[in-house]
Structure 1
């Protein structure tokens, strides 16, 4: 039986909650390595829970020790969130066993892409992957140098950030200094040109550099601004984007999950790679509602026969609108969006199927959180 271990540090990443269902639906035995309060164990789709410390310092030693002792018991081990990936990447050094078992890349020379925006930008340059022009900021750079090498507006990005945190929009060179003053640490900052175009979110599964499964989407709703996390999307397939993903997987040597973002510039007919986060996200389990179910990709990996073929570009009338229940309801509460509430009340486009009634354990935790949020806001 194919056996996987899913690991996550801390208890605050709700994006991991439904990831075990992807592997369970594929027929895997699913073990989770996390703390008692972790969202990763707030589901009924895992078989075994290995208790882990909830502080990072102890977590990394416990996970490394567990993997060394049980490496032959698992076909696949995945680190599910940005903090766990960064923590273990920094910790394991040149330990080849842990590199092979824990890191979601097979070309170790590309290790810098893990949890680093600078690393991703550098790798894109190496492999001729289209990405916005960028500068790795240092405090000795003058404003004149920045203005000469980048066209404004730009994004100021902290090297390690997630869900839109640590990203600032700077419309002009005059605004840049004010944005920079808000950053506590001036080390490892990326200045990236802001590309105007269509935001495209991608969830992908890779294995040994090969693209196994993917779904892409346009964004309908953000929690706050366009740098925050999303609550509603429209999903489809795009043959041209699939080619971009294949090149990305082969170039970086990706082997695992990918939460990826592109911006499509229509006039130039170019996909600009913006983010390559090699971890899970909250949208991945919703592939079960789509033609290209990520669980089917896991089955291909289990069988050793990866098809590597994907549907052609999805017709407009076959695109699927999906919303994450708790995220979108919290957005509606925060923004006093009555129309948004009515979508859920009247089962707009089948929204009720996205409510977590299919998992009583997850349902209880989500509604407890919403209840607390509601009365906090009220």
Structure 2
């Protein structure tokens, strides 16, 4: 079995798994100085875009293509390449299709989609000027595109809105939900979908604290919230998107209103994947490989599911005990260190809260 992987930045997360499956790995990357280029069997430096990866896939007769792209801009090009390569050459591309990417990459379209399928989302309006505002403060101002908190502002007054419009001509204005931030991964392939355990990312703040700076825990344990509800809604969203790959969804839960709100959905690998793996034993990136080689099934996922207490802590630069090799695998470790220098995080798991606390004391 020969697979083409697009993008090297995330490849070290799955290199151990690819080797354990005796898969011949071919990788394309547009940056000749990128990390992890020493890991695959073959590497090809290609221009930006999907034409280069497509030609490599055809020339080397690969069995499937697995994009490892964790940012939004290239997703639509991948989706268009998927339609072409699957339709004309019959090579599976384990990624979301055009319709799903176009819908989820535009926050306004995502809002409309939620409403169409009956999923509750915070009240919102499109502002073309501050004078259009009808929602009560505080409100959240966003652009239609963007990720990682980019171009998001929590406005507490009309002056804050005026300031936002000094930079932008339009805004998606959303009511601010006071409550718990939750993420969940859904895996989907060939019409089958499975929602993994939800992850707790902390409480909302008027300061707009970035999730990377918060301590996160798994599984999600929020008083009054049924995790089965989160999984059911996430499954409903993924099924209506009717696409392949990883779906990462963000929710808010308001204890005051006892209401779960859908915020957004991404069709790519995401930042909570280590915590999800630590919590339940299912590695979403490894499952992309399983989709590519025909070994993905709901029954297989069910057999893999385990139950741990886990947490993810930002540490800056990790200085604790070294993990076992391969260092990114929870099959060989009870903790994983990830993230770039100065922004590293430790994700750890244990069978009980008490054991998790002892492990964290040892690590950080």
Say yes or no: TM over 0.5: yes
Query: 1:173 maps to which residue?
Result: 158
Match of 1:250, SS? helix
1:247-266 counterparts in 2 under 5 A? 247-266=236-255
- Match of residue 201 from structure 2: 219
Deviation at 1:84, TM superposition (A): 4.8
1:213–1:297 contact (8 Å) kept in structure 2: no
The secondary structure found in structure 1 opposite 2:33 is coil
> Which one has more relative contact order, counting CA pairs under 8 Å at least 6 apart?
1
**Residue 169 (structure 1) shift:** 1.0
Aligned equivalents of 2:45, 2:245: Cα separation in 1:
23
Aligned to 1:78: 67
CA distance in 2, matches of 1:135, 1:6: 40
In structure 1, the partner of 2:117 is: 127
Relative to structure 1, the CA distance from residue 144 to residue 93 in structure 2 (aligned partners, 3 Å threshold; closer, same or farther) is farther
In 1, Cα distance between equivalents of 2:121 and 2:16 = 31
2:1 equivalent to 1:5: no
Tell me what 1:27 maps to.
21
Tell me the TM-score normalised to structure 2 length.
Answer: 0.70
* Bigger mean CA deviation after superposition, 297-306 or 228-237: 297-306
Q: Is the alpha carbon distance of 1:21 and 1:202 closer, same or farther for their aligned partners in structure 2, counting shifts above 3 Å?
A: farther
Cα distance in 2 for residues equivalent to 1:103 and 1:190: 31
Instruction: For 1:42 and 1:51, locate their aligned partners in 2 and report how far apart those are by CA, in whole Å.
Output: 10
Shift in alpha-carbon separation, 1:103–1:192, aligned structure 2, 3 A: farther
Consecutive unaligned residues in structure 2, runs of 5 or more: 221-226, 330-336, 344-364
Q: CA deviation at 1:286?
A: 4.9
Instruction: Find the aligned partners of 1:175 and 1:193 in 2 and give their Cα distance.
Output: 15
Counterparts of 1:22 and 1:235 in 2: how far apart (Å)? 24
Q: Are the aligned partners of 2:82 and 2:95 in contact in 1 as well (CA < 8 Å)?
A: no
Q: How far is the alpha carbon of 1:95 from its aligned partner?
A: 4.5
Kept in 2: contact 1:134–1:190 (CA 8 A): yes
Question: C-alpha separation between the residues in 1 aligned to 2:273 and 2:191?
Answer: 19
Residue among 135, 138, 145 paired with 2:132 = 145
Residue 303 of structure 1 is matched in structure 2 by 295
TM-score, structure 1 normalization: 0.68
2-structure distance, mates of 1:67, 1:220? 42
For residue 49 of structure 1, give the secondary structure of its aligned residue in structure 2. strand
- Structure showing the higher helix proportion among its residues: 1
Alignment partner, residue 51 of structure 1: 45
SS at match of 1:155: strand
User: CA deviation digits over 1:305-328, x for unaligned, max 9?
Assistant: 3239869xx99xx532233xxxx2
**Structure 1 segments of 4+ aligned residues over 6 angstroms from their partners:** 308-311, 365-368
Contact 2:50 2:78 in 1 (8 A): no
Q: Aligned pairs, how many? A: 319
SS at match of 2:299: coil
Residue 329 (str. 1) matches residue 325 (str. 2): no
**SS at 1:62 equivalent:** helix
Matched, 1:191 2:173: yes
